Amino acid sequence: MMVTFFLALLASSAMLTAIMAQQPQELKVNITILHSATAEGAVCLDGSPPAYHLDQGYGSGLLSWIIVVDGGGWCSSISDCQHRSNSGLGSSTNTLPPQVTFSGILHDDSRINPDFYNWNRVRVRYCDGSSFTGDVEDVDPDTKLYYRGARIFRAIMNDLSRKGMQTAENAILTGTSAGGLATILNCDKFKSLLPDDARVKCVADAAFFINAKAISGTLDIQDEYRRVVTLHGSAKNLPLSCTSIMEPSLCFFPRNVVPYVQTPFFIINSHYDSWQIIQNTNSRLVTFWSLNSEYLDPQHIWKHCKSHISNCTFIQRMIIQGYGVEFLKAFLGLTPSFTRGYFITSCYSHGEIVWTSYWFSPTSPRVLNKTIAEAVADWYFDRAGFHQYIHPYPCARDCALSTS
């Protein structure tokens, strides 16, 4: 009896071990603090050196690179930037974890990231508050704040070049939210750093910010971008083809600047982007469609709707669809391009490609039966024709994991 029980226990243990072995393992990647960057003034808001995480490629991916730029909004005033300088969004000193998990497009498991799992994969930490566009020589004498985002981008790319990126055959620059905007604004610069014959393309995730009006009728997000450009001295680092014909702050809007990006580009977004609809609780911006304001929602009737779009009432869905109309109006106003692709979902979310659940999994959003991972890879490797994927409203099954 005891022998039978022991054998059954061993069999169960072996089965559990086999099942666990089949599950993708969590990948932790150490941080690299780029101390040498301080010599060229490429520093975070608080003057600390910039940082990134690198998991080196191997095999067929040895000469291929994917750079993911973190998001995290912007700071448009001295007080905003002071606040950020005490966190990982403005400093690399005692605020950033020594390791981060690589998932989604950064995962090293071919079952989750079939086309890029063995590439050199990099996550760039965001600590400047300007989407890597700022460059002010003088340091604020009172706050000791540095506005050097453009220098950080250049320093990190140069360091990666020394580590092998200068011989890349394939390369992708990508990012989410403010990191996606950094991708758009730095895409052509990124391509210029790589060999002429390299396949270089850019992918912007959750970064198609629209110039929506506030309740008062004012363009608050445009005013925010104007303050960012002024405070950080960003104008000289924005695409000249855009700033030569319009106010520099307007070049922060993808609708205005994407037509001037020469490098092949892929856009991933939701036309019900949760950040743009509700903002986040720390934002001073309250757009026309914001559902987060106490003024708009004193009774918190949007609480369940904000947690998942399937919980929204008919009226709430109508308001959200109204925002979707405004988004698509801006998005579809882009000039056509045969080198550009896009994957537009109707998921109530903000940021997809660094989440395995969205990038490539049984619950991933699908448009024309393709996941985001499949659509991006087909476009990047020219495995199919012109890629345009817009998911109709709603997509309840494919957005089961949507979050606010």
Three-point CA angle 371, 373, 378, nearest 5°: 95
Three-point CA angle 221, 287, 329, nearest 5°: 85
Spatial distance between the Cα atoms of 343 and 140, rounded to a whole number of angstroms: 42
> Of the listed 92, 130, 177, 364, which one is catalytic?
177
Using DSSP, state whether 364 is helix, strand or coil: coil
Whether residue 130 lies in the annotated active site: no
The pair of structure tokens assigned to 372 is 């985001």
Spatial distance between the Cα atoms of 252 and 239, rounded to a whole number of angstroms: 10
Ramachandran class of 384: left when φ > 0, alpha when ψ lies in -120 to 50, beta otherwise: beta
341-360 burial code (b ≥16 CB/10 A, e <16):
bbbbbbbbbbbbbbbbbbbb
> Of the listed 249, 273, 387, 391, which one is catalytic?
273
CA distances, 236 to each of 196, 226, 346, 377 (Å): 25, 14, 36, 33
The pair of structure tokens assigned to 60 is 């067929």
> Of the listed 107, 350, 387, 391, which one is catalytic?
350
Using DSSP, state whether 66 is helix, strand or coil: strand
Whether residue 273 lies in the annotated active site: yes
Spatial distance between the Cα atoms of 129 and 136, rounded to a whole number of angstroms: 13
Whether residue 391 lies in the annotated active site: no
Active site residues: 177, 273, 350
